[in-house]
């Protein structure tokens, strides 16, 4: 009775030892260690399948939605055309203003605003969240100039930042709602700064202000403060204050912020390729 | 009798698993991971994602026993570890899945063989154990935790999801496993 006696205990011990060695390596590893390379390889293997599945199945979701909307399409089309014309002229004006601003900013040694930064548009390719971490894989990577620590935004506001693993053609976005997705933040209308952090829930971020001496109210807008964490440019919209727990003037308080970004429905994001380390370096010099 | 010492080393273990089956199992695990991170991640309840890789590992352990269970568990878990963003502990899913793959493989011999419910109930229980172990080990290893309420929510929903997935996944895994099983002597 080979099977009954053996039970693969030796095999079990071998693989348990292997797991523990991997965990130990992970705790000691520096940048570019063997696990880093293993991550790159595993992402490279799985990424094409993920990309395939996403391209095949995302249109299905849209397809059913569009059958329902078929009737309204013609009027929608007219309306959008009109809006596009208006938007185009606005873009022309904005571009002129942007040029003016940039030359003024250069003269006055101001920081570049995030809206004028170089961006890379990326599409979400996979959701690599575990049930305790919140992250996405995008279809742009090292070859497109994406590097760890760069800020990621969409039309609504701050989405998160780039973290490893970053491969040639993919990168990982750590979402702001991840408990480790912290950012320097401030109440937009005031100068009070602090730190905003994910709580693991889609509609709640937690903000803690440092040395604030004015009240915070529900509905106050929260934006990135810039430079606190060294990687996010200032004034990216984050969300609005939902609830204030405790006295903001005391060290023990929590401000619950409702984010602008809908983290359930991320399709496209912009990577600010001039943020991240390049900001940290500029901050270091100044 | 000192069984473990006399047991032949890895060659026999690998021979029992077999190279074609190794590739077939690898293929299923990679596909499960890709599905889990794409289609299944759109179908979340309260933000909790079904753990398809775990279900596949458990089904394999159930159809093919502890050796296949623990090897599939290790590779499935490790692959899942490698996909997570930095700051997660790499190797933790590998460790937990290896143990559960082995445990289910051993346990299956003591469960009623032909009942449809056996794998479903076993996998529901195993999912709860896995989620709690993962949470517990993360805390022990110094990960920042988000609280008992979230953990309880995650465990509950993962058990529900995995229970629903099992009747769909089990027949597929069984079919592939049967096809690539090197010898059929030990079916019972």
Residue A157, strand partner residues: A154
pLDDT band for position A98 (50/70/90)?
confident
Chain B positions touching A179 (Cβ under 8 A) are 144, 146
Contacts for A10 with CB less than 8 Å, ≥ 6 apart: B4, B7, B9, B10, B13
Tell me the percentage of chain A whose pLDDT exceeds 90.
26
Cis peptide preceding A165, ω within 30 of 0 = yes
Q: Is B37 on the interface with A (CB under 8 A)?
A: yes
Query: What domains can be seen in chain A, in order of their start residue?
Result: 13-110 (no CATH), 119-286 (2.40.10.340)
Q: Is B131 on the interface with A (CB under 8 A)?
A: yes
Tokens of A104: 């003024």
Alpha-helical regions (H) of B65-185 = 66-83, 92-107, 117-140, 148-180
User: How far is it, in rounded angstroms, from Cα B154 to Cα B110?
Assistant: 29
User: How far is it, in rounded angstroms, from Cα B102 to Cα B136?
Assistant: 20
Helix (H), strand (E) counts: chain A: 5, 12
**Residue written as token pair 């700051």:** B87
Is the Cβ–Cβ distance between A239 and A205 less than 8 Å?
yes
Output DSSP code: residue A233: P
Is the Cβ–Cβ distance between A233 and A151 less than 8 Å?
yes
State the best of A1, A4, A7, A44 to mutate against chain B, taking most chain B CBs within 10 Å. Answer: A7
Mean pLDDT lowest for which of A84-88, A191-195, B82-86, B165-169?
A: A191-195
Mean pLDDT lowest for which of A102-106, B52-56, B74-78, B122-126?
A: A102-106
For chain B, positions 104-123, list CB contacts with chain A under 8 A. Answer: 105-106
ipTM, two decimals: 0.82
**What local confidence, expressed as pLDDT, does residue B104 receive?**
93
**What local confidence, expressed as pLDDT, does residue A153 receive?**
93
Query: With the C-alpha atoms ordered A233, A239, A240, A246, is the resulting torsion angle positive or negative?
Result: negative
Residue B127: which of B62, B37, B35, B79 has the closest Cα? Answer: B62
Of B31, B74, B150, the CB nearest to A18: B74
Query: What domains can be seen in chain B, in order of their start residue?
Result: 15-180 (1.10.1760)
Tokens of B136: 């517990």
Output DSSP code: residue A221: E
Binary contact (B34, A20; C-beta < 8 A) = no
Q: Is A44 on the interface with B (CB under 8 A)?
A: no
Per-residue pLDDT averaged across B140-169, rounded? 86
pLDDT band for position B58 (50/70/90)?
very high
Per-residue pLDDT averaged across A236-256, rounded? 87
Per-residue pLDDT averaged across A71-83, rounded? 81
With H, G, I as helix, E, B as strand and everything else as coil, classify residue A234: coil
Residue A149: which of A2, A5, A283 has the closest Cα? Answer: A283
Binary contact (A18, B94; C-beta < 8 A) = yes
Q: Is A126 on the interface with B (CB under 8 A)?
A: yes
Is the Cβ–Cβ distance between B96 and B77 less than 8 Å?
yes
């Amino acid at each position: 009775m080979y099977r009954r006696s053996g039970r693969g205990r030796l095999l079990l011990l071998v693989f348990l030892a292997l797991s523990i060695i991997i965990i130990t390596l992970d705790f000691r590893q520096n940048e570019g260690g063997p696990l880093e390379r293993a991550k790159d390889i595993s992402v490279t293997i799985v990424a094409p399948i993920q990309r395939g599945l996403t391209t095949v199945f995302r249109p299905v979701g849209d397809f059913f939605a569009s059958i329902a909307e078929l009737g309204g399409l013609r009027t929608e089309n007219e309306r959008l055309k009109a809006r596009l014309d208006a938007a185009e002229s606005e873009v022309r004006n904005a571009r002129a203003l942007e040029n003016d601003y940039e030359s003024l900013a250069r003269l006055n040694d101001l920081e570049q605003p995030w809206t004028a930064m170089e961006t890379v548009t990326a599409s979400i390719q996979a959701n690599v969240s575990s049930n305790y971490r919140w992250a996405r894989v995008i279809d742009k990577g090292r070859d497109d100039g994406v590097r760890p620590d760069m800020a990621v935004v969409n039309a609504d506001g701050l989405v998160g930042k780039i973290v490893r693993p970053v491969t040639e053609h993919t990168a990982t976005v750590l979402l702001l709602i991840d408990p480790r997705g912290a950012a320097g933040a401030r109440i937009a209308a005031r100068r009070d700064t602090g730190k905003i952090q994910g709580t693991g829930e889609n509609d709640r971020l937690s903000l803690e202000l440092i040395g604030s001496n004015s009240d915070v109210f529900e509905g106050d807008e929260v934006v990135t403060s810039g430079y606190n964490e060294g990687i996010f440019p200032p004034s990216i919209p984050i969300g609005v204050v939902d609830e204030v727990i405790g006295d903001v003037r005391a060290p023990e308080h929590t401000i619950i912020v409702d984010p602008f970004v809908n983290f359930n429905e991320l399709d496209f994001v912009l990577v600010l390729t001039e943020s991240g380390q390049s900001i940290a370096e500029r901050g270091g010099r100044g | 009798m000192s069984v473990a010492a006399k047991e032949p080393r890895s060659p026999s273990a690998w021979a029992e698993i077999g190279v074609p089956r190794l590739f077939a199992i690898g293929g299923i695990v990679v596909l499960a991971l890709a599905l889990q991170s794409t289609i299944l991640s759109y179908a979340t309840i309260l933000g909790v994602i079904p753990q398809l890789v775990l279900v596949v590992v458990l089904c394999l352990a159930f159809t093919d026993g502890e050796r296949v269970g623990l090897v599939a568990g290790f590779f499935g878990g490790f692959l899942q570890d490698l996909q997570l963003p930095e700051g997660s502990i790499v190797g933790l899913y590998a460790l937990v899945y290896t143990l559960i793959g082995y445990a289910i493989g051993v346990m299956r011999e003591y469960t009623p063989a032909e009942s449809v419910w056996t794998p479903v109930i076993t996998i529901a229980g195993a999912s709860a154990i896995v989620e709690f172990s993962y949470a517990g080990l993360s805390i022990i290893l110094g990960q920042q935790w988000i609280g008992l309420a979230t953990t309880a929510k995650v465990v509950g929903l993962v058990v529900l999801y995995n229970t629903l997935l099992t009747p769909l996944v089990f027949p597929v895994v069984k079919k592939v496993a049967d096809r690539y099983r090197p010898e059929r002597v030990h079916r019972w």
